[in-house]
């Protein structure tokens, strides 16, 4: 992995953990998620138009199908993640489980289907990052005792959606050459087409309430969530997905530290051990 790719992924990781922290702290809800998607469409529209024009983007009908597929999977991702948090799961348990499950499946698909062949050092680094992420969740047998089994289930389903959209999005930006900014905006457009009627029907008035009562959080997520993934998409253009997917999981460390410090979720010692494991794992990804 090049220094540029690593820099993009690490910046994305910090931004991604930050908006997840805001989602957990605010209480979330489908209304807030949908309001953030709509605000993001408006905020990024001029930037996307400029980027498409500067890069000479050549539209093809198949691009819409790719954006629609990714948009639907991302819709499931947002709803499952939000449900995991609202089911009583701590940020420092839900986030690591969701983020660690995704790259494990992604690496398997990248090797078996896409034909990627990461070296042994890089592969070892990838699994060290994932193992360190799981270490952050603590004792898995305590999930039942804490009544968090439902949150864990939703977190694992979230991880599955991560693996699906990561593989799809790699092909979209690397093989079909859709500019990352344009692609992410298009995916968000289709996601909004699904979320708005769904939210209005099942939780009437929640979109407007989220905008009135939690506008700052809505705007922050609207700006940070797309930015974090646009950076990842940019790295995917020139970097194997089997390296980018596990490197993204450094965001777990940021989320765990935010949860420990601001949400008082505790157990700083375990987080520091996991941090060392992640640092070594990322080093393996870079050198391998």
pLDDT at 86 > cutoff 80: yes
Given this model, what pLDDT does residue 266 score?
A: 63
Q: Model confidence over 29-67: pLDDT tens digits? A: 999 999 999 999 999 999 999 999 999 999 999 999 999
Given this model, what pLDDT does residue 126 score?
A: 81
Q: Model confidence over 6-22: pLDDT tens digits? A: 999 999 999 999 998 99
Half-sphere exposure of 33 toward its Cβ, with a 13 Å CA cutoff?
29
Q: Model confidence over 231-284: pLDDT tens digits? A: 999 999 999 988 888 888 788 778 777 776 676 666 667 766 876 787 677 778
Given this model, what pLDDT does residue 137 score?
A: 62
Token pair 């639907």 in the structure block, residue:
72
Q: Which two tokens stand for residue 256?
A: 């765990």
Residue 69 Cα to chain centre, angstroms: 16
Stronger pLDDT, 105 or 221, i.e. the higher one? 221
**Cβ-contact 58, 178 below 8 angstroms:** no
């Amino acid at each position: 992995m090049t220094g540029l790719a690593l820099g993009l992924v690490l910046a994305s990781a910090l931004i991604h953990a930050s908006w997840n922290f805001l989602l957990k702290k605010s209480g979330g809800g489908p209304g807030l998620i949908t309001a953030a998607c709509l605000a993001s469409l408006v905020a990024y529209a001029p930037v996307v138009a400029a980027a498409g024009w500067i890069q000479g983007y050549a539209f093809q009908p198949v691009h819409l199908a790719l954006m629609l597929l990714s948009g639907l999977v991302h819709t499931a991702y947002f709803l499952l993640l939000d449900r995991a948090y609202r089911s009583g799961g701590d940020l420092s348990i839900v986030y690591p489980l969701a983020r660690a499950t995704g790259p494990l499946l992604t690496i398997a698909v990248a090797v078996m289907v896409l034909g990627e062949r990461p070296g042994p050092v890089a592969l070892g680094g990838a699994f060290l990052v994932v193992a360190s992420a799981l270490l952050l969740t603590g004792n898995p047998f305590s999930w039942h005792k804490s009544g968090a089994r439902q949150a864990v289930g939703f977190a694992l389903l979230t991880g599955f959606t991560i693996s699906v959209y990561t593989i799809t999005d790699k092909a979209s930006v690397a093989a079909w050459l859709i500019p990352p900014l344009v692609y992410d905006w298009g995916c968000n457009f289709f996601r909004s087409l699904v979320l708005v009627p769904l939210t209005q029907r099942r939780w009437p008035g929640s979109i407007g309430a989220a905008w009135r009562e939690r506008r700052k959080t809505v705007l922050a997520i609207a700006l940070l969530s797309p930015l974090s993934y646009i950076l990842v998409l940019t790295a995917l253009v020139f970097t194997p997905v089997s390296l980018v997917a596990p490197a993204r999981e450094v965001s777990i460390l940021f989320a765990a530290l935010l949860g420990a410090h601001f949400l008082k979720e505790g157990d700083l010692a375990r987080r520091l051990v996991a941090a060392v494991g992640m640092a070594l794992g990322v080093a393996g990804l870079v050198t391998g």
